[in-house]
Amino acid sequence: MSAQTPHRTLQAGHGPMLRALARGGWKERGTCRQTDPELWFADTSQRTKARAASICASCPVRRPCLAWALVFDEEYGVWGGLDATERHTLKRRLTTGETLLAVLADVLGWPIAAPSNPEAA
C-alpha cells in the first residue's frame, strides 16, 4: 500500500481548517516577522534551531503555523517550533490515520476540540 501525503489524508475532514490556513492571515501575527529570518530557514546549527524554537514557544500563532507545515509538507526550516526531522515524525502519524487536531493537541498540549476559529492560536 502506498503512503498518502498528509495533505491528501486531511482533505476529507479538514476543509474549513485547510481553507483558513491557506488564507494565511495567521502569518502576519508570527513573532518571527519581527526577527532575523535566518534563524528559521538557514541551514543552521542545533543551537540556532533551539533559539528559533524557543521564540516559537511563545508565538501567538504556533498552532496554525505547525498545522500549515504539516499539511503543506514544508520541508525546510523551523515551523511551530519544530524542525524538519521533528515534523517528519508527526507527518508519519498523520499518514497512519491520526487526525491533525489530535497530533497538534499531543505536541502542543492543547485540547483536542476543533477551534471555532482555526486561525486562532
32 is in an annotated binding site: yes
We find the least distance from the C-beta atom of residue 30 to ligand SF4, in angstroms, to be 3
The residue sitting closest to ligand SF4, measured at its beta carbon, is: 30
C-alpha cell at 7: 495533505
Residue 121's SS3 state is coil
Nearest CB to ligand SF4, comparing residues 12 and 43? 43
Distance, CA of 99 to CA of 28 (rounded, Å): 26
Q: Which residue's C-alpha cell is 507527518?
A: 91
Q: Which residues bind ligand SF4 (CB under 6 A)?
A: 30-32, 40, 55-56, 59, 61-62, 65, 78-81
Q: Which residues is 79 bridged to in the sheet?
A: 82
We find the least distance from the C-beta atom of residue 3 to ligand SF4, in angstroms, to be 26
